[in-house]
Structure 1
Amino acid sequence: MDALATNIARLADSCAGDIRAAVVAETNGGQNLPHLTSACSALEALQRSAVQLRGSLAAATVSEALRMSVMQSLGACHTHAALLFKQVTRLDADNAIKTREDFWTVLGAFVGAHVKLFACYADLLATTDGQDERLNAAASQEVVHQAAHAVRLATNAPDIFADEPSHAASLPYPVRDVEAPPPYESSPAPPPASGILHRASHDSEAAGSSSARSRAWAKMASPVKAIRGHMGAGVVLPFVDELCAAAAGGQAKQVEALVAQGACVDGISSHNDTALGLAAAHNHIDVARTLLQAGAQATFHSPHRMPPVFVAAAAGHRDLALLLLEHGASVTAKDMRGQPFLIQLVDEGDHAAMQFLLQHGANANAKDITGRTPIVHAVATNDVSMATILLAFGADPNARDLAGRPLLVQAVQNQNGALVRFLLDSGADSNCRDMTGASVLAVACQKHVKTSETVQLLLRRGARPDSTTVTGVTVLADALGRHRVDLARVLLEHGADAGATEVTGQPLVITVVRSRKVVLEDKMELLGMMLKRGASVQARDFVTRETAVEVARKVECKKVVKLLESYENAE
């Protein structure tokens, strides 16, 4: 937008200079001098208002709807100003008297309407609250519609000289001397592969069956209408539909001719498309290059579509995407809600497009409108490949979802061992806790039915074997309480405190001795491991105050008694 405003200011200043030169040199005292003088003053005002708008854009926070409206207005102004002002370059002292009054009328209306429009935009940009509502207000829409009408007049502007039928001969490409655009092949353009071009609007288009979602769409309708309708309610700029059809069909010559005829290169068609977006979808690189050279903004897109660079990347059109990047396309673009388009590609599992965009500057830690980063979306869908790509480009492995769960906890709950490993390899905290306070190790121990490789992996990567569950007991106490001999064995091997107690204060060695659900062989193995690791046979039952040996004698387990007595003598 800054470049467009700058170019408009330069065009206006140059055109005013051409007129001043003709006025100063003119010696015939012709009847057209008042028109020239008035046009010069208007152009100077346009130059000032374009500069002011550029400054306002640089200093302001701009809503998506207002940004889109300003972008398309600047694009339309730039395209038609170039055509109108080019005629003025033919003006000199000898032919000034031959100019047509109706040309100056069209020029004056065009310039005056855009001076008012730019001032209106600058006023909207001066505030950060309610920009969309003010843009959609009747007063603002009236100014926008006046500019749209002036653009339509400029499209059919007469030639500057009375003895020449039109200005078409001065244009850089051959065009017909008729109001209609040149013919183009009218066969319907093939739809974008996999609905690529339509991704940005799939939620709203599916909302028809839901009254709640319909109401949600209605809240978005006003700013959208401000963008679509700002060139006149329900009106598409002249030749834009034809330009889009030619772009989708790869008809570069027709695109050149339509641009020369005055088609707005950044216009939105009746199908919510732009010519550049369609060229990107269908991999017509020559058409895209032609549009960009004609002033199309690589960042501009319909509010119902993804930006062209995302369209090209999603379609696998690498060379075209690179061309768009060379012309300033943004890989950090967001939709009207503030949602990064990057998130959409993550949700759709588009690995190749994601890798391409990350390689060219996309932020792997960009946040969606709820504060979630792309890797949170990838982990939620168990997309290991997407998560791996994101981690390789610096995604935060310790990010959390909306509920406050660390990614590692979520991967463990999803029993996705590969993702757990990738997260740990990328620096995920092996001692993180979920929103309830349970450690990730506790979550792993409670989740798996059989001996878990994930539990062992967490322990090898530094998970504390004495971490606690949501109830505050250690994972070892929890495993023994649930008779999970396999987990207890792994935890003891990795240094869990064998002398610990349950939350009631019951020593764990007593818990094992009393257990009737652990088979004798397993009980002997566990007690041996615990006693070797510091459990005391003198530990007492928290109720009866009996020692472990006394409890074993009471439950009449001779092998256990013998094992405990051997350690009792050693103590």
Structure 2
Amino acid sequence: MSLKPKLSLHLKSIIISQIHPNSTPNKPTQPPITAHRPHHHQHPPTMDGFSVASLTSLCSTIAQQVVSSTSELQSLLQTIPSPSDSVQQIATFAAILHATNVQVTHLEQALGNATAISLGLQGVLTASLNSCNAVSARLHKQILRLHADNATDADPTYIQSHSQLLAIYQSLFQCLADILVINERDAQDAALNRSKTQELIQQSNSSFNAVLQPQSILLEASRVHETLPDVNSLPHRPKHQPLEQDQPPPYAHTDPSSSGSQPGGGTPQSSEVGPSYAPAAESIGFSFAKTFKALVQPFMSKPDPFVSALCQAVTNGDIRQITGLISQGININGKGEHGNTPLQCAILADQEQAADVLLSAGANYGSGGWGLGMPPMFQAAAAGRIGIAQLLMDKGIKPTEKSVSGQPYFIDVIASNNIDGIRFLLEAGANPNAANIAGRPALILAVRQANIELVELLIKFGAKINASDFTGSSILAIASEKDDLNMIQTLLNHGAKPNGEGMTGVPVLVDAILRRRLDLAHLLLDHGAKGKADDITGQPVIIIVVKDAKMKPQDKVSLVQRLLENGASANAKDMVWSRPVLTFALEFGLPEIVESLLEYGAKPTCSMSSGEPALLYAVKMGKVSEANALLEHGADPNKKDQNGRTPLVEAVIKQDKELIKLLMDHGADVHARGTVSIASFAAALQRPDILNLLGLGNGGMSGAINSEAMPPGYQASAKS
């Protein structure tokens, strides 16, 4: 009877559906993945049509679609003039899409690093990624239909159902990535059969069917708005407007010393220091927003040249010119040629006096009028312009203000990594435990940004050290995603729990050992991580260490010792074969670990996979050190195997005087009855020295070897 865990019927159906795809009408389907023969050292065996390369390529495709969709939504959010429920919903949806991209990328990396992929896991990976690809492609096409005129008509049912499905995919992909770390296929199948994994698979299937119902992201009544705006209705310049009217008034640079101004830098190029919904650096694939902008650009009005002149004066800190232009009635809240307002230019160029003049003249400094970007005080903080930020705070701006999505602007400043600006806001009352719209706390963001100084600053102001991610991952689990021991050391020093878990409930210690990050494992153990821990399949971590064929023996010895010191069970059993860890230590030839296990209470009377006692196995394999440790801790020197052999019989057969003496010293019975008489066989060997060790005199029983004296399978040994 096979001891391999059986795959559930649900899991088998998924695998069969991938090997023999059967399309269902009206449902998006994917063609079978092209078969590529894997490299011999990577993932043998594989089911027909499976290749790791095809799945990693599929991950990349999904990531590209999700990134492009996220960028479209972020661009759309910046064009919507006023906050509404639909804006909040779209902003949250954009955050969920971004989180999906992160998880798919993580799964792609796990696929590339996997040393084994069971047939069951191949089926689930293929099915889930194909369905996710179908959803993301369909979703991207729908998102491209949204624009400022119809965004308020977005179907909340459509967005909610897709948000739920994407959240399930995130959890499922994290679970599959954790399973890919496991090096044994049997253990991978066992992990797939866990109730939590099965539940995620079933949820993904049912949610996938649910998203097929609302076919459009727009409500039926809004479809009349799907076309592009009429070009004739767009603002345009008069055909015969004299060119001279486009020119700014002549700029006369005055002596800054006469006005108390400070020299500034060049004209800023970015429109904002750190917008709440800054678009991604580059949208991958077709972008409706960019195409639309290119189409209407020739018809859009040009930047106000008078505002551009004011922006230049502000950038240079020319107070006399600034006051002169303002007195001429120039729109102080207009935008110059680079899309910046004069106040933004003052922030970017760090012209505090110019900012003071603009504010005194009525420049807009509140949340209103700044779209979905950060208000000027937060822009100033993000850029480290503390003097200007203080001016704006003195106007009554609170450091706890939020965007239309409900996300604190403080979170956007956290993303800037500007320590001075963040400290300024914290000292003014910003919440160190604020979170983004996805529920990720500021401290978690700082950890993901690998900014130790920022982490320590937030903790100093009261950030909760044991904060968790919206996925449920502990702060240590998130920190361990990067190879940065200093960050983990910092968190542990400030009280982070060393037994923190990842999203699937696997302790950080176990994950570190599975990835062979032994430095991290020892660091966690030094801070009290529990040695009695299991992986996602229920396999004890001490078993994982002993059985790891790629880990150096000396590393195993030190790690097992630390695990035992921190509470690992010396009698832990393999979750597949139900064998105690001691038997694996004997098989792998690890005498130091055998000794450590016995000292911590391992039962010396255990049996090997063949059924023979551990002591008999050690004697048969000539493991003197292990045999001595077993005897010292109470192993029975006369315990027989199923064939009636005792350890002493085996030692005599091997003619191993050291083992014979060891067994005799621990009470082995030379007259014990079994399949062969020890005395008769020893005499037949004509070895007086062995007879003396056995206490049988000076060879008085010597004689020729006969068939009655020979034990089953005996072959004479030449050992002296």
Deviation at 1:545, TM superposition (A): 3.1
Among 381, 393, 396, the residue aligned to 1:313:
381
Partner of 1:534: 601
1:281 Cα offset (Å):
2.1
Q: Alpha-carbon deviation of 1:404? A: 5.5
Aligned to 1:418: 486
| Percent identical residues | 28
Could you tell me whether the CA contact under 8 Å between 1:189 and 1:245 is conserved in 2?
Answer: no
Report the counterpart of residue 327 of structure 1 in structure 2.
395
- Residue from 519, 533, 546 that aligns with 1:480: 546
Q: Which amino acid is the alignment partner of residue 382 of structure 1?
A: A
Report the CA distance shift for 1:383/1:198 in structure 2 as closer, same or farther (over 3 A). Answer: closer
Over residues 448-504 of structure 1, what are the superposed CA-to-partner deviations in whole Å (9 max), with x where a residue is unaligned? 455x2x323323434221111123111111111125222111111222111221212
The answer on whether the counterparts of 2:444 and 2:469 sit within 8 Å (CA) in structure 1 is yes
Partners of 1:364 and 1:191 in 2: how far apart? 35
Aligned length: 409
Q: Where does residue 515 of structure 1 map in the other structure? A: 588
Please name the residue that 1:297 is paired with: 364
Match of 1:560 among 626, 629, 634: 626
Q: How many Å separate the matches in 1 of 2:507 and 2:83?
A: 50
Counterpart Cα distance in 1 of 2:462 and 2:252: 47
Greater mean deviation of Cα atoms: 501-510 or 341-350: 341-350
Q: Does 1:502 align with 2:574?
A: yes
Aligned match for 1:372, one of 440, 445, 450: 440
Amino acid at match of 1:478: I
Deviation at 1:264, TM superposition (A): 2.7
Question: Residue 562 and residue 443 in structure 1: after superposition, are their counterparts in 2 closer, same or farther (change >3 A)?
Answer: same
For residues 211 and 549 of structure 1, do their structure 2 counterparts lie closer, same or farther at Cα, with a shift above 3 Å needed?
closer
Residue 496 of structure 2 aligns to a residue whose secondary structure is coil
Partner of 1:258: 325
Q: Superposed, which structure 2 residues align to 1:357-368 within 5 Å?
A: 357-368=425-436
Q: 1:137 to 1:562 in 2, by over 3 A?
A: closer
Change (3 A) 1:466 1:69: closer
Structure 1 position 377, deviation (Å)? 3.7
What is the DSSP-based 3-state SS (H/G/I as helix, E as strand, rest coil) of the residue aligned with 2:429?
A: coil
Among candidates 171, 187, 190, match of residue 265 of structure 2: 190
Q: What is the CA-CA distance between 1:276 and the residue it aligns to?
A: 1.2
Query: Larger % of helix: which?
Result: 1
Report what 2:176 is aligned to: none
CA distance in structure 1 between the partners assigned to 2:276 and 2:267 by the alignment = 14
Instruction: Give the secondary structure class of the aligned counterpart of 1:568.
Output: coil
1:492 to 564, 568, 590: 564
Alpha-carbon separation, structure 1, partners of 2:419 and 2:251: 37
In structure 2, distance between residues paired with 1:337 and 1:570: 72
1:69 and 1:442, CA in 2 relative to 1: closer, same or farther beyond 3 A? closer
Q: Distance in 2 between matches of 1:244 and 1:293?
A: 16
Cα distance in 2, alignment partners of residues 479 and 470 from structure 1: 15
The whole-number CA distance in structure 2 between the counterparts of 1:431 and 1:220 is 51
**Structure 2 letter corresponding to 1:502:** D
Q: Label 1:328 to 1:217 Cα distance change in 2 as closer, same or farther (>3 A).
A: farther
1:48-447 alignment to 2 at 5 Å?
Answer: 65=79, 184-185=251-252, 190-191=265-266, 197=272, 200=275, 207=282, 212=285, 215=287, 217-218=289-290, 234=301, 239-299=306-366, 307-329=375-397, 331=399, 342-343=410-411, 345-368=413-436, 370-400=438-468, 405-447=473-515
| Equivalence for 1:9 | none
Q: What stretches of structure 2 of length at least 5 have no aligned partner?
A: 1-76, 85-147, 156-221, 236-246, 255-262, 638-720
Q: Compared with structure 1, are the counterparts of its residues 443 and 66 closer, same or farther at alpha carbon in structure 2 (3 Å cutoff)?
A: closer
Amino acid paired to 1:457: L
In terms of mean alpha carbon deviation, does 302-311 or 491-500 score higher? 302-311
* Distance of 1:381 and 1:307 partners within structure 2: 23
Report deviation, 1:273. 1.0
Segments of 5+ residues of structure 1 without an aligned counterpart are: 1-62, 71-123, 146-179
Distance 1:331 1:265, change over 3 A: farther
Distance (whole Å) between structure 1 residues aligned to residue 279 and residue 523 of structure 2: 44
C-alpha separation in 2, matches of 1:211 and 1:509: 54
TM-score when normalising by structure 2: 0.47
